[in-house]
Amino acid sequence: MSTKDDTPKGMRKGLTSYGDAGFSLFLRKAFIKGMGYSDAALDRPIIGIIDTGSDYNACHGNMADLVEAAKRGVMLAGGLPIPFPTISIHESFSHPTSMYLRNLMAIDTEEMIRAQPMDAVVMIGGCDKTVPAQLMGAASANLPAIQLVTGPMRTGSHRGEKVGACTDCRRFWGRYRAGEIDDQEITEVNDQLVPGTGTCGVMGTASTMALVTEALGMMAPGGACAPAVSADRRRIAERSGELAVQMAAAGLTPDKIMTEAAFENALAVLLAVGGSTNAIIHLTAVAGRMGIKIDLDKFDALGRKIPVLVDLKPSGTQYMEDLHAAGGLVTVLRELREHLNLDCLTVTGRTLGEEIDDAPTGFAQNVVSNREAPLFAEGGMAVLRGNLAPRGAIIKQSAANPDLMVHRGRAVVFNSIEDLTRRVDLPELDVTKDDILVLQNAGPKGAPGMPEAGYMPIPRKLAEQGVKDMVRISDARMSGTASGTIILHVTPEAASGGPLALVRDGDEIELNVPDRAITLHVSEDILAERRAELSVPVHPNSDRGYRKLFLETVTEADLGCDFDFLVPVPQATGQADG
């Protein structure tokens, strides 16, 4: 029996449909030879390299260097690198929000991988939603794929203080709103917060996704933390190109790496690093593409056992460049070893356990704590449930005010982001520091796009009195760089008729994070009356194009905010709890 692999490879993959395969290959080679390639080059394994460079995207400002380094790695390993572009998304330049465009980028990534001849692909992303979009697309295309991130920015300096985006952005802006610093100083600090190319240098969503992707096995070992402008980052890019050639030869596809056990590893790291709340949505979406369901209750149970070990803002005090100097993710993995599935495959073709064992020897450092003396006793996130969030809500407890973790207060309700913007700073707003700010209709369908509006500003009159934190509740998201006692991802969302839509000014809400509870103290009879009067938000231009597709098919936060038609039927019921 023949064992010859007749699967088309290289230029013979996915031939254009002309009804004559020989002519299709002949025409394809004729055109690509116009780029100067020889037949010898075209006979090599072809490795696509996704270029997401954009002059709107400072996080990807080193893209050209990384593409060149990845190409070098491919060629050194005997392959032919072919870069190609896809959509690029930057959080600060995406209207209404980058989350609105994540699924579009995932579709773009998947279809370009499918449409163009390549045996493997190096996916280069960085800013927040680009990495999950690429992982989602790669999961669905199921071609050998490796993730390369652009890397975190270096820190800047403001009047002798080390600063970096974007936890410090929010801190200084909060001080400015409170009248603690003037126009001159806020302008000065604005020049220093992003001193150069790279993603946010704190434990924001970009840094979190880099770390969990390495833990997932989809990134070159050691690839998460190296600064964007470092020689290390370019060496990682070269190594990624080399590994892509090896993965193509071995047929090492995402389904062999992104298993249920691998997602358990990623979730454990998410909890231990005090990662962004966005990451639970993104991991749910990526897992969903593999037919795996993330169980929030099991995630919360895991968080009872895994403490926060990494001293990075906003949960701690340091920056990603410090974690890189401390040895990177493997320093965390060593501490988590008993909670990890060590036999999971990685892009190297070796197991996670083998990579940990072969990593450089650990050394004394002050960024990653040991398990006996953690930064925070539990995982960075907790899952809340109750009559206000029947399908769950998330709080980043490691970045919250301990004094507010058990709190009961009066609701001050904003029925939309526009309403919040219009009224939050009015002198006549009826609000005290003990109240609870509630934002409705900021979820996937309600906003639309589930923007990072959950980090509601402290009303100006309270900020001027020195108030730094309040309990805030919404169906929106929050930047991983933000801190505060903020409840997010309330599901079902208000626009779907969830209980959040029924909250009114003056209602009593009780938060109890230790008990994982969030309760609206209003009788069911009154809630039924309010429910009968609800109306669904109507968005302009929702009758055509991408907005129509988004609103008609997007799922809610607990399902990853993916499009329902892109998710296969689940093959598993969730993650084990330890």
Peptide bond into 448 cis (omega under 30): yes
Note the pLDDT tens digit of each residue in 84-131.
Answer: 999 999 988 999 999 999 999 999 999 999 999 999 999 999 998 999
Note the pLDDT tens digit of each residue in 268-315.
Answer: 999 999 999 999 999 999 999 999 999 999 999 999 999 999 999 999
Q: Which helix (H) or strand (E) covers residue 476, if one does?
A: none
| Closest alpha carbon to 109 in 357, 280, 285 | 285
| pLDDT tops 50 at residue 501 | yes
- What angle is formed at CA 297 by the lines to CA 293 and CA 301, rounded to 5 degrees? 120
Same structural domain for residues 35 and 173? no
Residue 307 lies in a domain: no
Average pLDDT over residues 451-461: 95
Q: Name the more confident of 411 and 571.
A: 411
Q: Name the more confident of 481 and 518.
A: 518
| pLDDT tops 50 at residue 572 | no
Same structural domain for residues 39 and 160? no
Residue 502 lies in a domain: yes
What pLDDT is recorded for position 573? Answer: 40
Residue 467 lies in a domain: yes
* CATH code for the domain of 400: 3.50.30.80
When mean pLDDT is compared across 16-25, 301-310, 410-419, the lowest value belongs to: 16-25
CB 231: neighbour CB atoms within 10 A?
10
Same structural domain for residues 390 and 526? yes
| Separation CA 71–CA 239 (nearest Å) | 10
| Separation CA 50–CA 63 (nearest Å) | 10
Same structural domain for residues 39 and 165? no
| Separation CA 190–CA 194 (nearest Å) | 8
| pLDDT tops 60 at residue 432 | yes
Residue 322 lies in a domain: no
Pairing of strands 406-414, 389-395: unpaired
Q: Which domain holds residue 171?
A: 156-190
Q: Which amino acid is at 96?
A: P
pLDDT-derived band of residue 7, with 50, 70 and 90 as boundaries? confident
Would the CA dihedral through 330, 334, 337, 343 be positive or negative?
positive
Residue 306 lies in a domain: no
Same structural domain for residues 391 and 534? yes
Residue 479 lies in a domain: yes
| Separation CA 189–CA 430 (nearest Å) | 33
User: Total domain count for the chain?
Assistant: 3
Average pLDDT over residues 428-449: 97
- What angle is formed at CA 373 by the lines to CA 369 and CA 374, rounded to 5 degrees? 60
What pLDDT is recorded for position 4? Answer: 59
What DSSP designation does 345 have?
B
Residue 90 lies in a domain: no
Residue 1 lies in a domain: no
Residue 199 pairs in a beta bridge with: 152
